[in-house]
Structure 1
Amino acid sequence: MFKKLLSSKKKPKDKYGWFGDYTSWAKASSEAGGYDEHIILERTTNALLKVKSGEAVYERDSVIFDQKEIPYALMSFLMLSATLKKRPLNVLDFGGSLGSTYYQIKDLLPEETCASWNIVEQEHYVTSGKANFEDETLKFYSSIDSCFEKKKIDFILLSGSVQYLKDPHVFLEKLAGYDFDFILFDRTAFNNATNDRLTLQVVPPEIYPASYPAWFFHKEFFLSHFSDRYKVVAEFPSYVEGEAVMFIDDRPQGTNKGFYLVNSSKYD
């Protein structure tokens, strides 16, 4: 997970969620302590192994659920993209953990939709992914470029990952330059105000004791990186219950949503 998992050093007493309006990543990080990424990875690995074996139905952020939440928008746009491409897609899942979304939808998609599912993650996730989950369809890489050495990617998925990057706009500008056919952002945090906002996210301890910087983006600025090359075909809400309204400092000030972008130079 591209979320930087940080054990909370300073947090509002008995409160969890998103807090503050930080002027820099360094300031937000200074209010979060060290983190034990091995505990988070272990919990995620164990949860997804249960999903893989059929002992559990669905995993998200290391938590097991007894019922799937179906990302219908993602599934629809994967199928539409495969139709436009006229062949099964090579999908890149940026920050896709150990295959959470892959296992969530793989039994629901037609075979002609997806040729391969390629996850780009932090190195320790890649190591666990290769050891425990990799198969003929699901592959793990430590960077977009290393994935490109093996696969020609058609469709990139970024679900709940961009807001946890230190320099997201540098990344978005680079992302636009890769010239993917299709880009889908899902569960991405946007601010109701006319600027980006940097917060400190405090995670409930029943998930894992952690806090880390998290962005809420200004929609127009976010999408401006793609205006020269892509058409925004659709905007859609998060499929996760409770993310239509996101609270910052206990006030409704944002939302998690998604966008489906199609490369206009390739598809009119």
Structure 2
Amino acid sequence: MFKNLFVKRRRNPYGWFGNYSSWAEVAREAVGYDAGVILERTKNAILKVKNGEAVYERDSVVFDKKEYPFPLITFLLNSANLKKEALHVLDFGGSLGSTYYQIREFLTKGVCASWNVVEQEHYVACGNQHFQDDVLTFHNSIDACLELKKIDLVVLSSSVQYLERPHDFLQQLAAYNFQFLLFDRTAFHYGEKDRLTLQRVPPEIYPASYPSWFFNEENFLNHFSGQYTNVAEFSSYVKGEETMLIDGIQSGYDKGFYLINLSTHA
């Protein structure tokens, strides 16, 4: 009886932990996103989706029933309607095209002219070899993508919180002056300052851990104040991400924002 009670109360060893003072400090404990096993599992999962053997992939896990990110789809369609032509989309940190395959039935010729994933070099090489088509392409950086395409909308889904210097990136993102920005599954918490944690991933997904930020929402959005209007806010479509535990305490949440550039859509 007491043993069972202890098991029930034992803290989940996977999730988000700590309040680190520096990226270097947490990186010493982490086995990061660049690990080869993650790429291999992700490639195999998305190949199943591409080949019709699975309907949906998220974080290298395949599903037989698709979950749609309806806010993301809605704002993609709205952006195409405002622009009056198909969009060139940049998917920052888009893996091997996870979101593209998840919503591709909505990416008609009138909505999406191209879907351009910006990722780490080994993901780009794998994407170009196995997944690139007449719509989906892969690039090493935003600048490399912009050399080939004039981007209208940037999708940032579960990506900014895994950058070493996220606020530097957000400042640079604002400087590009894109027409539309669409943040999804971005991690925030209730503290006044950003919090840096170690995220431990359950091994059934893949054996990894890496640094993960939780942002102060106001400070995050301040990068775009006066330049963009925050048209809509929405919670994560992934069950369990609306309220996230840090050190076993409910103190984080995933959220999205749809921003429109004031200079292009007054």
The TM tier, using the shorter chain, reads over 0.9
| 2:65 corresponds to | 67
Counterpart among 189, 192, 197 of residue 190 in structure 2: 192
Q: Secondary structure at the match of 1:225?
A: helix
* Cα separation, 1, equivalents of 2:33 and 2:140: 20
Q: Tell me whether 1:88 sits opposite 2:86 in the alignment.
A: yes
Higher helix share: 2
Counterpart among 173, 176, 182 of residue 174 in structure 2: 176
Counterpart among 200, 203, 213 of residue 201 in structure 2: 203
Q: Structure 1 227/41 Cα, relative in aligned 2: closer, same or farther at 3 Å?
A: same
Unaligned runs of 5+ in 2: 1-9
**1:36, CA displacement in angstroms?**
6.7
- Counterpart AA for 2:39: L
- Counterpart AA for 1:95: G
Bigger CA radius of gyration: 2
Unaligned runs of 5+ in 1: 1-11
1:209-242 Cα deviation digits (max 9, x unpaired): 1111100000000000111311110110001111
Of residues 106-115 and 126-135 in structure 1, the stretch that sits farther from structure 2 once superposed is 106-115
* Cα separation, 2, equivalents of 1:115 and 1:225: 28
| 1:152 corresponds to | 150
**1:142, CA displacement in angstroms?**
0.3
1:121-154 Cα deviation digits (max 9, x unpaired): 0010000100100011000000000000000000
1:134-145 alignment to 2 at 5 Å? Answer: 134-145=132-143
Q: Tell me whether 1:247 sits opposite 2:245 in the alignment.
A: yes
Q: Tell me whether 1:132 sits opposite 2:130 in the alignment.
A: yes
Any conservation in 1 of the 2:89–2:152 contact (CA below 8 Å)?
A: yes
- Counterpart AA for 2:120: Q
| 1:56 corresponds to | 54
Q: Structure 1 33/50 Cα, relative in aligned 2: closer, same or farther at 3 Å?
A: closer
Counterpart among 151, 159, 162 of residue 160 in structure 2: 162
| 1:42 corresponds to | 40
**1:26, CA displacement in angstroms?**
1.0
Counterpart among 20, 23, 31 of residue 21 in structure 2: 23
* Cα separation, 1, equivalents of 2:96 and 2:194: 29
